[in-house]
Amino acid sequence: MKNNTAKQSAKSFQREFSIYGITYPALKEAVEKQGYTVVEFNHIYNEEAVACRIDALNISDAVLRSRGFTYADCNHRVVFIHEDLSDDEKLMVLAHEEGHIYCRHMNTSPIIGHDVQDEYEANEFAHYLLNPSSSSKIKHILHRHKNQCQGVKTVCHTNGIFRTDVFGEMALEIRQFAAIEIPARLEHTVHRRKHFVVHAAVDQLKIEK
């Protein structure tokens, strides 16, 4: 899998599961939707249920030498994550394991980790998933604020304040200032254009910077 294919796979994953802000809980939920159970383990001591699962799958060696790995056969689908990792580290490991799952590496062996190409592909997938492009960031911002923006747009059109091209111009501004939240950008645009009615709508909808 080439870099651009890993990038497309990461984008496809985000679209399929509607995940634009990657967090550990959100990614864990997506993994579980694919039929996998996420289990946290420890090198030294594990709760009885976890220890029994490890013994049953005969994966003690993998547990001792790994921060995280995925096991999949005809009867079991489990992603193991070391419980002592920080939240950021757990997210990185789970993103890597999701790369194995989504790129279908699990079709070749119950435990992935020996094939250099598979590891490279999973690393690339995780990189693009955790470091989205500007366009993906914009989509995430739009997704989070679409109801508020639609409400303001409705008020604008109802009162005949905005020309039809204004939101197109705003979209260009958002692309230029992707790091700025849409409400702040919208409020700035409204203030700059000095449209009192729309500014009042922003206040009414309680859109914060």
| 48/18 Cα distance (integer angstroms) | 35
pLDDT of residue 5: 86
- Cβ atoms of 140 and 21 within 8 Å: the answer is yes
pLDDT of residue 140: 52
What is this structure's pTM?
0.65
- Amino acid in position 173: E
| pLDDT tens, the chain, 209 aa long | 455 688 899 999 999 998 878 899 999 999 999 999 999 999 999 999 999 999 999 999 989 989 999 999 989 999 999 999 999 999 999 999 999 999 988 877 788 767 788 899 999 999 999 987 645 555 555 555 555 555 555 555 555 444 444 455 555 554 454 444 455 555 555 445 444 444 444 454 444 44
Sign (positive/negative) of CA torsion 46, 102, 128, 170? negative
